[in-house]
Amino acid sequence: MYSQEYQEIVKLFHDRMSFTETKRVPHLSGFYTWKIHDSEFSFKEALYDDKKMEKLVCDFHHRYNFDGYFDLGTRNPMRLVDSMGPGSIYIFNEYNDSFNVVDKVMMDETGYDAFADDPIKAVRAMIKTKYPNATAKNLLNGMNELINFGRFSGKMAQTFAEKFSRPSVFSMTGAIMMPAEFFSSTTRGIKNYALDMRRCPEAVTRAQDTYFKHYNKPAIEKNLASDTSVYITDCYTALLAYATMNVKQFEKFYWPYLKEYIDTTIDHNKRMYIYTESTMLRFTDFFNDYPKGYIVIHPEEDSVFTLKEKMPNICISGGMSTITLGTGSPEQAVEEAKTLIDGMGPGFILSQDKMVSFKNDCKRENLLAVCNFVREYEI
């Protein structure tokens, strides 16, 4: 049984999504690897040692006391990624305590038809392409690390729910990416995917239909059938591949699947959180037929004020600029938070505009000032 404080915080988020007047605005943490920069550990120490990661994530909560969290130290499971041997998507740089992500291409453009015909066979071929020298020992290592990662993720969620009375945005099973994200990020790379939409559109559509049928729909049905009432929202997705699309392409290659996901979620009287990387302004009309209370959109680049005007029924999350958090003064950061809270009104959750990851994205004194202000500011 979750504490009274926990239930009150979840209700606060739900009330904001429903455009209900509340005494204060909930503050949602979108801090990811910046938490490591804010700790005593190096990237390598934190990302390869669960105990160190657990400590710094808990220290982060004690220091800033957000109402809810996206990440609890599970965003970059380096041991899991490395477990299969060479083929990692990460390039780790110990010198400057950072890493980059490599755009891996796991199939050529003829692979769409193969995927549509036999998705399981196609995925096996992709794995062989990515890990051509993998052995049975590599596979066993991968399985063990996957189990360990699941245990760590569960432990962190339980700790924050039971010890700190703080909810996560969604459950691990509630994060479901649309077909365009699979083919643009996992198999072809976003550049190749953007070309494929134009060169072989029917093959892309066939493959995406197959992916949605075989992977998305069962995952959606399973998640919606489970009890997700203890989370801020019931399900989650993130949009990035649409950055390469115009409106007509979005309507063809993205919207049919996202619409079914949203419609099914609302039919079950549940809530969805959508994180929109890049800009989504040209797509706002697609969301305007939905009623209040079901969808949260978190823009990375778009003005929250502009989105509020264009999508009056959609709860908007975000707004707090990493430029202000990283380069401004505490006074400037607090003033921006106040402007957002006062100007956005109901249907708004305060969070950051970016996935806060880099050292210069934020200064501790600025974040402390904002967190202390938001916690006490009554509206």
Using one digit for the tens of pLDDT, what is the confidence trace for 220-278? 999 999 999 889 999 999 999 999 999 999 999 999 999 999 999 999 999 999 999 99
φ, ψ for residue 273, nearest 5 deg:
-110, 125
98-101 and 90-93 as β-strands: parallel, antiparallel, unpaired?
antiparallel
Give 273's strand partners.
Answer: 236, 296
Give the Cα separation of 216 and 351 in Å (integer).
Answer: 28
At 87 the pLDDT is 65
How many Cα atoms are found within 13 Å in the side-chain-facing hemisphere of 99? 17
Q: What angle do CA 14, 18, 21 make, to 5 degrees?
A: 90
Nearest C-alpha neighbor of 242 from the set 204, 294, 278 = 278
- What is the model's pTM? 0.95
At 88 the pLDDT is 66
pLDDT in tens, the chain (379 residues): 699 999 999 999 999 999 999 999 999 999 999 999 999 999 989 999 999 999 999 999 999 999 999 999 999 888 888 888 776 677 777 777 777 777 678 999 999 999 999 999 999 999 888 888 888 888 899 899 999 999 999 999 999 999 999 999 998 889 999 999 999 988 999 999 999 999 999 999 999 999 999 999 999 999 999 999 889 999 999 999 999 999 999 999 999 999 999 999 999 999 999 999 999 999 999 999 999 999 999 999 999 999 999 999 999 999 999 999 999 999 999 999 999 999 999 999 999 999 999 999 999 999 999 999 999 999 8
- Residue 186: CB partners within 8 Å, gap ≥ 6? 104, 106, 126
A 10 A CB-CB count for 1 gives 6
Give 239's strand partners.
Answer: 276
At 316 the pLDDT is 98
SS3 132: coil
Q: Which segments of the chain does DSSP mark as H helices, in order?
A: 4-17, 34-37, 43-48, 50-64, 78-82, 111-117, 119-130, 136-158, 179-181, 190-199, 201-211, 217-225, 247-253, 255-267, 304-310, 322-327, 330-344, 364-376
Q: What angle do CA 286, 209, 180 make, to 5 degrees?
A: 60
